[in-house]
Structure 1
Amino acid sequence: MSATDGPQPQFVQNVTAVSGFAYGAIGADIHVFGDGSPVYLLQNWQPAVPADPAWLRELPSRMLNSRFEVVPFTGRETELSELRAWRDGGPRLAARWIHAPGGQGKTRLAARFADETRDGGWQVVTAVHGPGSVQPPPGSQDLTLDGHGGVLLVVDYADRWPLTHLTWLFSNALLHQDPPARILLLARTADAWPAVRASLANHRATASSRALDAPPDGPAMYRAARDAFAVRYGFPAGSVPGSAPPYELTLALHMAALVVVDAQVHGRRAPTDLAGLTVYLLDREHLHWATLHARGDAGATPPAAMNKVVFAAALAGAADRPHGVEVVRALRLGTPVDRVLDDHAHCYPPEPDGGDTVLEPLYPDRLAEDFLALTLPGHQADYPAMEWAEEVIDALLGRHASRGITFLAAAAQRWPHVGPDHLYPILAAAPGLALAAGSAALSALAALEDVPIRLLAAVEERFPVGRHVELDAGMAAVTRRLVTELLALDDSPVARAVGCQHLSTRLLNAGLDAEALEVARRGVTAARELDDDVPVLAAALGRLGDCLAHNGRPAEALRATEEAAALAQPLAEAERARHEPLYAGILAGLAVRLAEAGRHQDALEVGERAATAWRQLSAADPAHEPRLADALHAHGRQLSHQGLQAESVVVSREALSLRLSLAEQDAAGHEPGLAASLLTLSAQLAREGRRAEALACSQQAVESMRALARADPTAHDAGLAHALQALGADLAEAGQLMEGIDTTAESIAVWRRLARDNPAAHSAELSKSLSNLALLRLFADPPTQALPAAAEAVQLMQLRHAEAPELHRADLGRCLSILAVCLNTAGLRQERHGVAAGAVRQYEAAWKADPVRYAFDLARVLDQMGRYLADDERWADALGALEGGLALAEAYIHVDPTTYAPLISGLRTALDDCRRRIRQPWWRRRGQRPRG
């Protein structure tokens, strides 16, 4: 991109495709995959261009394509007014998710709003998903915002985008400039909205959603459509009789209006039901193919072959020409491939500026779904099914699983033969296709009412044992449906216990913590009904402990896990080969629960036993290596908490090495653990003063967690917030103060959203991040900005402390200590004393419970208190605080000489000054001379 000295446009960009695809954007980012293909395409909004009525009449379905806007915008004034208010008010960046079934009028509403917004001086841009999209010819899009009042980004089919790709889109520079930015997302359902909303929160965008209901005035909409179609056929508006049918779907009203006009023109009787309307329009497609072939306009491709190609296009979607050639070759038509593609494009031309794109599918999507269903054998409609349809699906579905399964599942919701006769047998023969189709397709499959249990079980058998970033949400949906169906058949205690434990694990992996806890409780209740199955009860209690911990209930989590360990220990001692994995897993969980309860010495001992057990098990079977890595990771953290830094680094490096090896084999399954190990090692390196290495580890951890949170924010946002929290501190220590402040503020934004939904689980971490931010802002300009964050941190931690004092004494002490520093910096000298004294009290209580761990912190806040007292010339009080701090620090210097030495030196200097002042006469201590 190069600037020019001439008039507008301000920038010139020359884009040339030597081979492959070329695309440029001025004023925006371009995100591409490793092969250079675009993740998405941004294009300037193009208003609808009127189409030739004669061309439209050739295929009546063309008039239903929203891009031609044959029917004028009618109704929806309330929704349009809401969009205007959303655009013109509120913060700089906002997003809105509009969802409704296919054919309800989402695209038409968005088009009307986009036209208005463009006419009002805004830049309006559309985003099209890159993979399989209609790609424009080589060139560039001028998306600069100079002279525009704002930017509106329209994203159709947003629910079909992978969340990672939407997150990349949200980070585009186009949306993060000075003018207001609005993102309008259109989707069929709101299923994906919570995860998308979480991703938007990371960009500090306000987010809202709106279900698009049935049109408020169906008869008026029908009349407007009927008159518009009549004009295209050369009749005056109002000349075609007929009353509006009782349909609630906008597309159904338009179809009925189109068919009644076309039927009158051709002297036919218009059908009165939706299936009949669909068949009527598809019959017109067949007639068009036959007419073209008969007169030779596009006559090289026989109608039967064209039928097959149109079916393939509906299944696979538009493609570039080389890919289109492969699709047509797979059909084995016996007709030259290039001629087939050209003939198909004659009937179904690509989008404007679509370049050399081929195999444009039928529009609207709902008509394409119905065409797939009616072409497949098994229905009772008056429409010819084709025996070759299954062969085409077999040939194409593997490469086009995402679109193909999505469209077939949508068709199965309306056509009862599609699932049992076609989709389910295909997936039963190749269950892996469901996984290849992605998380959204798994959820769609689980939502079908007649999906067989055996099929779900076959799909579930292909699931990875542990987590999978891209599939966790879909796997949870399938497992939920499968367990529900199985328990309806067998409600015995053992079935409920095992099923609930399995389901709660999947739900926990997907970040659905509250639901996981409810299911885990049901599992324990069922397991207690079993008199002689101790292993099932132990496993259920262990899972309940995990779920309680994720829901911010550490005391209950510890009790459940301790009970699980008490049950599992004699089992492992009596029959080690069978029960040692169960016991080792519970021990690992118990170590974490003990640490969360502040019992760090107990956690260290239990964690060492768990690591030893898993090391022995993995030596015999490498399949246990992931559990060994988890146990080593937790044990390394406990060693660090007990001041055993050298040992902790050795153990944590071993865990990291294992996880690196595991992630190379299965990144999606082991990336979360790898990021956690990087964060732990970063903290340990920072304590050793190895700042550069610590920063590199935390930066890599944040990069990993960002990718995970993009794929599934519900499951990984807490991990991202932890990583950002650590990176902020490391950046500041490395001298990058402002970057550290920004990163810490980002972690706070994530914690705020999580704490809003589940304060018990996340408000303590929010408090810690706020204290971190306050500490960093003390070194920025002006330092007084630190005080609000420090005060909020104390308020939040006091709430947690009131609920569980033994867990949050030290945390509250730290928050109070930082608040005292902020008050002192702000010149609020009186207020600082009470706050500093509160910090001393909290750390004294923590020290009594765990002397080694908290001796340094108590000595530090005694030093802080003593200095504040000395500032106010309260020398005797200051002397007591400083002497207490020095005695404590000298008693524990052997724990970590490097850390304690500077504190001891400072305490001695302050004490010497304090003692000297006490020995002086009062008038000299105050810097005065006696009178007379």
Structure 2
Amino acid sequence: MDLRRVVGVTGPGGPGSGYALGGRLLLASAHVTGEVGSAAQVFFPGREGVFDATVVWRGTPGGRNDAALLRVDDTSWQAPAGAGVRWGRTVTHRTEIECTTAGVPEVVQRTGQPVDMLQPSGTFNPGDRYVADRYLVSLTQPAPSNARDDSPWGGLSGAGLFSGDRADLLIGVMATDPVGWGHARLEAVPAYVLHQDEKFRAALVEHAGQRAAVVLEPVEWTGLADAGEVVPPGGLSGSPAELLRARREATPFRGRAELMRQLRAWAQQGSGTAARLVHGPGGQGKTRLAARLAGELSAAGWAVMWLSGQAADLRDLADAAVPLLLIIDYAETRPAQVAAVAEALARHSGASPVRILLLARTADGWWQQAQDASPSAEQVLGVAQVTRLPALDTAAEGRRDAYREAVTAFAALLRDMPGSIGPQDNNWGALAERLDPPPMAQAATALAVQMRALADLLDTATAQRTDEQSEAAADDAMEVEDRLLVHERRYWRTVAAAQGLSEVLGWETLTDAVAASVLVGADDHGEADELLCRVPGLADQSRDIRDRVRRWIAALYPPSPSRPWDTLQPDRLAERFIGRRLRDAPGLADLLATGCGPEQAMRLLTVYARAAAHPAFGGALNADLTRLCTSRPDELAPAATHVATQVEEPTPLLQALHQITDDPATSIDRLTALADQLPYPSQTLADYAAQLAARMTDHYRAQANRDPDVFLPSLAACLNNLSIRLGELGRWEEGLEAVAEAVGVYRRLAEGRPDAFLPSLAASLNNLSVDLGELGRREEGLEAVVEAVEIRRRLAEVRPDAFLPSLATSLNNLSVRLRELGRQEEGLETIAEAVGIWQQLVERRPVVHQAELERSQRVMAWLKGLPDL
């Protein structure tokens, strides 16, 4: 909470407290204020001035929604600066949740002294006063005494109640000092009660400058949430690009009626966990669609969380006890996190609905990788609905309407923007009326239409300046992104001049610093300084200068707590900026890549690859990207294996991986590390994976010829892996040759050391049966899997904990082979044994083995000729 926003309130019900939400809107108590339209007075404790206010919304005094909203009418009012208010609610049954409030209660007031403030803190349990929809706060401080009959807490009513890791979520409004607790407990009206009132939400939009939909975030998981999109109420930063951020919801929501209907039905289809993937090109409207759904569900009482990319420990998600919408944006860059979320929520009780909405540019290898991460991930993600988001406005009239709506909306917002956008006396409404929708391509995305509208509006405004001609307006041939970047750079210059940086550093250096923040990024201030040290023009500067540059970037793009800066958005604009910068300064990426950690390397290659794929560059950046990866294989090649599955155009990255693998100087250790990094399976990487497996097989074959005792096991393992990789490409004959050789090697090894190599022999026999079956040699395939079952049965008798799962897997395969040969009864007996084993294993470790049990049950249903379970 921000103590600068705490106010005192005077109304017909006596003195009270309140909290400034933004703009001219204040939160207060219904039993302190009068009816809607009545007057009240507010003041900041310890500061001069009393301000007239009007009640614009009011709940029931003493009722379950005992709260009010006041609009300050005084022209002298200045809203406190700072980030916007985030709202929250509890989502679990966790006890002793910490909270704090602040107001002007009677207990700290002294005769003849200015009105003072108190900040009580305490804890609450969601189950206390659950039926009455109240939070019962147990105070940490000793209960105050009062010689009079009234409560010492009089005057605290209306104060905001905050909770979360940094007490940054507004979760309620202080209401009463309940009897029976000796003034040691206080009651608050939960925020979720207020947000269920449509008029309350409308007042936030109208008077608090709350442009985006208000959502209620989970109090217990604030450390997991992406808080970087909180809109500062009452104004914007001055960045033109900020108006284009999808979660700002600056323009009216258009279309998508049928998809929204489907998403509502998906959310309401029952309790338990369900996932859905929406994918499409950048700028198609995925994030905006999710924001719309989030707003609607929040208004219906759901908690909503946009998951941070840095969120790590996700186990507590299984404790969700209220309806929850979890949104994962850029899911294609976060497959491991997506899998972790699914694994956590596979343990959810199912008593309340939990919906995972995944947003991604593609649904290729990363999606299968996330599902295959574990049986639990497959259990949740394997049945997820997948929707490709179509273009929004394919008809010319629809694009013209979207353009008009965007121009009008941007004009209304630009009135509140700083003067660097254009002359402060611009009549933005009149400028908007002068603009006619231009012809736009049928394939134009929703973002493309909005970018054109904003660029046209800004160009029209800046072209009116008498002291300069707009660079963008002077060149009609410039692409819309470049036109917007002209205005964005003007914003950078204005802020740099205000902070005195223009007098210390050249513009090229400052531009490279922004490029570093966009291309590589940093998770903390230490990483930020290390990155800025690699920027040309900053390496020889003092730490003080670099800190000033970091603060400048943070002022341009305010960060979420603990992070050094946010970044230029939307992505399409950032990618165009990076592409231009790397084209003009081709050595910059190499300097910035020095010393990159894994996460930074992933981001660098992702942004670079997307920039290189931009049609404006015509492939001119592809060779440079490939050279960057081959010149730094240790730092960038592992990241390239992942990024290649996540970007729309992975060719430059794949070419780099092929070159690194083909290079005779590449060591076997590096090849092994790359093989360990490969996501499995991946259609994008299938050719490369086969090439890498073949290269490693050749290496160990040569080594085994020289020293078979040492290297034959490695050769057999590589042959087995090569057969799998060839099978992914449909090259079954070659795969059969490789796995047959692997089986032969493992037989010889198992003769000498059965304990060490019988498990590997059984695994290779399983693969051999698959390849034989694919080639129609089913009798031989049956013979191979029967031998695998016999080996694993003997192993399981000795070490059941280690080998029962692999035995059950081989029994699955055996049952399928038997059915293929018409031996259905034997197949049913075999799969029944597999199901029995999995049931035993599920009793011990349900999360680990449940998905495998269900897979065997589906095989049993198939053998019986029944529909899949």
Q: Could you say which TM-score interval applies, normalised by the shorter chain?
A: 0.5 to 0.7
Q: Quote the residue 2:591 is aligned against.
A: 392
Residue 292 (1) aligns with residue 495 (2):
yes
Q: CA deviation at 1:634?
A: 7.5
Work out which of the residue numbers 275, 278, 283 in structure 1 matches 2:481. Answer: 278
Superimposed CA distance per residue, residues 340-382 of structure 1 (whole angstroms, 9 cap, x where no aligned partner): 21121111101xxx213113221112222211110013xxxxx
Quote the Cα distance in structure 1 between the aligned partners of 2:382 and 2:136: 30
Q: CA deviation at 1:96?
A: 0.8
Q: Quote the residue 1:194 is aligned against.
A: 368
Q: Quote the residue 1:104 is aligned against.
A: 284
- Kept in 1, the 8 Å contact 2:399–2:449? The answer is yes
Residue 257 (1) aligns with residue 453 (2):
yes
- Kept in 1, the 8 Å contact 2:285–2:446? The answer is yes
Q: Quote the residue 1:404 is aligned against.
A: 604
Quote the Cα distance in structure 1 between the aligned partners of 2:139 and 2:627: 51
Residue 341 (1) aligns with residue 480 (2):
no
Number of paired residues? 562
Amino acid at match of 1:520: W
Residue 471 (1) aligns with residue 666 (2):
no
Q: CA deviation at 1:263?
A: 0.5
SS in 1 for 2:254: coil
Quote the Cα distance in structure 1 between the aligned partners of 2:247 and 2:581: 26
Q: Quote the residue 1:650 is aligned against.
A: none
Question: Structure 1 pair 740/160, CA: closer, same or farther in 2 (3 Å)?
Answer: closer
Work out which of the residue numbers 215, 222, 225 in structure 2 matches 1:43. Answer: 225
Counterpart mapping for 1:188-267 below 5 A: 188-191=361-364, 192-197=366-371, 200-203=377-380, 206-216=383-393, 217-234=398-415, 235-236=428-429, 239-247=433-441, 248-267=444-463
Superimposed CA distance per residue, residues 563-613 of structure 1 (whole angstroms, 9 cap, x where no aligned partner): xxxxxxxxxxxxxxxxxxx5xx3525xxxxxxxxxxxxxxxxxx7546358
Q: CA deviation at 1:304?
A: 3.2
Q: CA deviation at 1:746?
A: 3.6
Counterpart mapping for 1:530-679 below 5 A: 541-543=736-738, 546=739, 585=742, 587-588=744-745, 608-609=747-748, 611-612=750-751, 630-631=760-761
Work out which of the residue numbers 309, 330, 336 in structure 2 matches 1:163. Answer: 336
Superimposed CA distance per residue, residues 509-539 of structure 1 (whole angstroms, 9 cap, x where no aligned partner): 46x95x44x3234x5xxxxxxxxxxxxxxxx
Q: CA deviation at 1:188?
A: 0.6
Quote the Cα distance in structure 1 between the aligned partners of 2:295 and 2:659: 49
Amino acid at match of 2:659: A
Quote the Cα distance in structure 1 between the aligned partners of 2:319 and 2:168: 9
- Kept in 1, the 8 Å contact 2:278–2:286? The answer is yes
- Kept in 2, the 8 Å contact 1:41–1:130? The answer is no
Q: CA deviation at 1:254?
A: 1.1
Question: Structure 1 pair 742/162, CA: closer, same or farther in 2 (3 Å)?
Answer: closer
- Kept in 2, the 8 Å contact 1:92–1:180? The answer is yes
User: How high is the TM-score relative to the length of structure 1?
Assistant: 0.51
Question: Structure 1 pair 168/108, CA: closer, same or farther in 2 (3 Å)?
Answer: closer
Question: Structure 1 pair 506/75, CA: closer, same or farther in 2 (3 Å)?
Answer: farther
Superimposed CA distance per residue, residues 16-35 of structure 1 (whole angstroms, 9 cap, x where no aligned partner): xxxxx979999xxxxxxxxx
Quote the Cα distance in structure 2 between the aligned partners of 1:737 and 1:194: 24
Counterpart mapping for 1:360-375 below 5 A: 360-375=566-581
Quote the Cα distance in structure 2 between the aligned partners of 1:446 and 1:507: 27
SS in 2 for 1:153: strand
Question: Structure 1 pair 260/90, CA: closer, same or farther in 2 (3 Å)?
Answer: same
Work out which of the residue numbers 678, 687, 700 in structure 1 matches 2:797. Answer: 687
Amino acid at match of 1:423: L
Amino acid at match of 1:210: T
- Kept in 2, the 8 Å contact 1:157–1:186? The answer is yes
- Kept in 2, the 8 Å contact 1:123–1:151? The answer is yes
Residue 416 (1) aligns with residue 618 (2):
yes
- Kept in 2, the 8 Å contact 1:171–1:203? The answer is no
Question: Structure 1 pair 181/304, CA: closer, same or farther in 2 (3 Å)?
Answer: same
Q: CA deviation at 1:152?
A: 1.2
- Kept in 1, the 8 Å contact 2:333–2:646? The answer is no
Amino acid at match of 2:447: L
Quote the Cα distance in structure 1 between the aligned partners of 2:795 and 2:477: 67
Amino acid at match of 1:180: P
Amino acid at match of 2:852: S
- Kept in 1, the 8 Å contact 2:762–2:791? The answer is no
Quote the Cα distance in structure 2 between the aligned partners of 1:466 and 1:480: 18
Quote the Cα distance in structure 2 between the aligned partners of 1:283 and 1:161: 32
Quote the Cα distance in structure 1 between the aligned partners of 2:253 and 2:290: 11
- Kept in 1, the 8 Å contact 2:284–2:447? The answer is yes
SS in 1 for 2:384: strand
SS in 1 for 2:621: helix
Superimposed CA distance per residue, residues 747-797 of structure 1 (whole angstroms, 9 cap, x where no aligned partner): 232346xx6xxxxxxxxxx33xxxxxxxxxxxxxxxxxxxxxxxx587269
Quote the Cα distance in structure 2 between the aligned partners of 1:65 and 1:288: 17
- Kept in 1, the 8 Å contact 2:278–2:386? The answer is yes
Q: CA deviation at 1:468?
A: 4.3
Question: Structure 1 pair 459/293, CA: closer, same or farther in 2 (3 Å)?
Answer: same
Quote the Cα distance in structure 2 between the aligned partners of 1:110 and 1:60: 23
- Kept in 2, the 8 Å contact 1:226–1:257? The answer is yes
SS in 2 for 1:89: coil
From the two aligned structures, give the one with the greater helix fraction.
1
SS in 1 for 2:479: helix
Quote the Cα distance in structure 1 between the aligned partners of 2:534 and 2:845: 56
Q: CA deviation at 1:270?
A: 4.3
Question: Structure 1 pair 504/160, CA: closer, same or farther in 2 (3 Å)?
Answer: farther
SS in 1 for 2:306: strand
Q: CA deviation at 1:329?
A: 2.6
Question: Structure 1 pair 105/274, CA: closer, same or farther in 2 (3 Å)?
Answer: farther
Q: Quote the residue 1:18 is aligned against.
A: none
- Larger RCO, structure (CA 8 Å, separation 6 or more): 2
Quote the Cα distance in structure 2 between the aligned partners of 1:94 and 1:750: 19
Amino acid at match of 1:748: L
Amino acid at match of 2:603: R
Residue 308 (1) aligns with residue 413 (2):
no
Quote the Cα distance in structure 1 between the aligned partners of 2:802 and 2:338: 26
Q: Quote the residue 1:551 is aligned against.
A: none
SS in 2 for 1:376: helix
Quote the Cα distance in structure 2 between the aligned partners of 1:93 and 1:370: 38
SS in 2 for 1:228: helix
Root-mean-square deviation over aligned CA pairs: 5.2
- Kept in 1, the 8 Å contact 2:499–2:552? The answer is no
Quote the Cα distance in structure 1 between the aligned partners of 2:756 and 2:476: 57
Work out which of the residue numbers 309, 316, 319 in structure 1 matches 2:523. Answer: 319
Amino acid at match of 2:390: D
From the two aligned structures, give the one with the greater strand fraction.
2
SS in 2 for 1:129: coil
Superimposed CA distance per residue, residues 879-918 of structure 1 (whole angstroms, 9 cap, x where no aligned partner): xxxxxxxxxxxxxxxxxxxxxxxxxxxxxxxxxxxxxxxx
- Kept in 2, the 8 Å contact 1:99–1:188? The answer is yes
Q: CA deviation at 1:2?
A: 3.7
Quote the Cα distance in structure 2 between the aligned partners of 1:508 and 1:39: 45
Question: Structure 1 pair 143/471, CA: closer, same or farther in 2 (3 Å)?
Answer: closer
- Kept in 2, the 8 Å contact 1:376–1:389? The answer is yes
User: How high is the TM-score relative to the length of structure 2?
Assistant: 0.55
Quote the Cα distance in structure 2 between the aligned partners of 1:259 and 1:97: 32
Q: Quote the residue 1:151 is aligned against.
A: 324
- Kept in 1, the 8 Å contact 2:838–2:852? The answer is no
Q: CA deviation at 1:212?
A: 0.9
Amino acid at match of 1:230: A
- Kept in 2, the 8 Å contact 1:45–1:125? The answer is no
